[in-house]
Amino acid sequence: MAQVWSVDILGGFAYSDELSDTLRTDLQPVVRFRQLCDAADAMDKGLNAGEFYNWNVYSDVGRRGRALDEQLEMPTTNFQIRQGQLRIGEMGNSVKYTGKLNNLSKQPITEIIRKVLKHDAKKALDAAAHAQFDLTPLTVAPTSGNSATAVTFQTTGCDITNGIAMRAAHIKAISDGMKERNIPAFAGDDYYALSWPTTTRAFKNDYEALKQYHGEGFGYIMNGETGRYEGIRFGEQTLIPKGGAVDSTTWSSEDGVADAWNGGVSDWAFFMGEDTVMEAVAIPEEIRGKLPGDFGRSRGVAWYYLGGFGIVHGSASDAKNIRIVKWESAA
């Protein structure tokens, strides 16, 4: 339904004899996933370049070099090429409004619509980026579901019901596991982790206790990040809903529908190294105005984006090269 003057909640409230001049909107979630798309070489794909974007991944050689025998020929080996692909698609949303509402409103209707559409575009694109992070086949969960120290990595689907809050010992085990899988650091020498604030609360309590007598440690808690521990920097988001275990049929990132894990003691988190998700952009997100219709009585504003996201290393058949680890639960 369009924004109209005749219905208060759709437009009528935009004028009042004592109406504040300050524009206010609903609370907005913290979005983070799109900024973690670190494979940036497709950001300038541009127009007239087709619907798909491809990239090559080159394996190591099949047989390592070694000492030579003077009387034997130099050994020969080869390597393989895998190709990844993402699809360019359209995204957008619009708000229609009437000329009457625009002409009678005290507050600037087009400015309000632009503002709420910008919020919508930010959330929609972040959800699209998250959908690719969520395709990672590499999961981790507490061993047996309730170990306070050990974790189990899986690449064929998580079958462990996660029944314990994430603790410092889990972080140590995850960090060690990522290093031993040779996952490259996300930035500098550090990996990056992203979750809801409450997902890492028990860990942060442990961390504060460990560092309470050290000024540097306390500083890590006070700055923009929530902490840095065992070579992992931690960040927070509040857009993608909580829960969504493997067996969930109701959880939806697009619609913002949460579905808590069984027991509700923990929640998803992503740990990542370099080369996570690629974004290919043909037309960056932009605000577009509709040509007025019905003699200027029908109007509208939209946001539009032409591009796509793709996980760079997302093949379960090549699990040794996965760069994203998801703290997961089967139920």
C-alpha pair distances (Å), 289 with each of 96, 129, 242, 295: 10, 26, 35, 16
Q: What's the rounded mean pLDDT across residues 90-94?
A: 96
| Between 72 and 211, the higher pLDDT residue | 72
How many CB atoms are closer than 10 A to CB 105? 20
What is the C-alpha separation between 109 and 313, in angstroms, rounded? 44
User: Which one has a higher pLDDT value, 293 or 317?
Assistant: 293
This prediction's pTM: 0.86
- Which of 4-18, 151-165, 213-227 shows the lowest per-residue confidence on average (mean pLDDT)? 213-227
Q: Which of 193-202, 224-233, 300-309 has the lowest mean pLDDT?
A: 224-233
Tokens of 200: 């890492």
Which whole number is the average pLDDT over 275-287? 92
pLDDT at 6 over 80: no
| pLDDT bucket at 223, cuts 50 / 70 / 90 | very low
**What is the extent of the structural domain holding 218?**
164-278
Q: pLDDT at position 58, please?
A: 86
Per-residue pLDDT, 327: 98
Structural Rg of the chain based on CA atoms? 25
DSSP per-residue codes, 57-88:
EEPPPSS---PPPTTSPPP-----EEEEEEE-
Is 209 part of any domain? yes
Residue 178 lies in a domain: yes
Q: What is the pLDDT averaged over residues 44-69?
A: 87
- Give a yes or no: residue 263 inside a domain: yes
The Cβ-side half-sphere exposure at 141, using a 13 Å CA radius, reads 25
What letter does residue 181 receive in the DSSP assignment?
T
Confidence of residue 218 (pLDDT cuts 50, 70, 90): very low
The predicted structure's pLDDT at residue 21: 52
3-class secondary structure, 23: coil
If residue 139 lies in a helix (H) or strand (E), which one and from where to where?
A: strand 139-142
pLDDT for residue 216 is more than 90: no
What CA–CA distances, in Å, run from 278 to 41, 63, 87, 142?
Answer: 8, 30, 11, 30
Asked if the structure places residue 170 within a domain, the reply is yes
DSSP 250-275: S-BTTTTB-BPPTTSS---EEEE-SS
The pLDDT of residue 177 is 97
* 304 burial via Cβ count (<10 Å: 0-12, 13-18, 19+): middle
pLDDT, position 222:
41
- In this structure, the chain runs to a length of 331
Residue with the two structure tokens 């050994």:
75
For 126-177, write each residue's pLDDT tens digit: 999 999 999 999 999 999 999 999 999 999 999 999 999 999 999 999 999 9
In the structure encoding, which two tokens stand for residue 24, read together? 């206010």
Mean of the per-residue pLDDT values for the chain?
87
Residue 71 structure tokens: 């009387």
Classify burial at 34, counting beta carbons within 10 Å of its beta carbon; exposed 0-12, middle 13-18, buried 19 or more: middle
Tokens of 186: 């996300």
Which of 5-14, 187-196, 258-267, 319-328 has the lowest average pLDDT? 5-14
Specify if 253 maps to a domain.
yes
- On whether residue 188 sits in a domain, the answer given is yes
* Poorest-pLDDT segment among 5-9, 32-36, 170-174, 268-272: 5-9
Nearest to 307 by CA among 330, 293, 286, 328: 286
Residue 146: both structure tokens together: 């309730």
Contact 183, 232 (CB under 8 A): no
Q: Is the pLDDT of residue 11 over 80?
A: no
How confident is the model over 4-13, as a mean pLDDT?
Answer: 71
Select the more confidently predicted residue: 130 or 6: 130
Q: Is residue 229 part of a domain?
A: yes
Residue whose structure tokens are 């085990």: 173
Torsion of CA 121, 247, 203, 222, to 10 degrees: 10
**pLDDT at position 4:** 74
- Tokens representing 167 are 């603790």
Task: Report the alpha-carbon distance of residue 210 to residue 24 in Å, rounded.
Answer: 42
Q: What's the rounded mean pLDDT across residues 50-55?
A: 89
pLDDT, greater one: 13 or 278: 278
Asked whether residue 5 is assigned to any structural domain, the reply reads no
pLDDT at position 13 over 70: no
| Average pLDDT value for residue range 62-72 | 92
Domain count, the chain: 1
pLDDT for 221: 43
Q: How confident is the model at residue 17 (pLDDT cuts 50, 70, 90)?
A: low
Q: What percent of the chain has pLDDT over 70?
A: 89
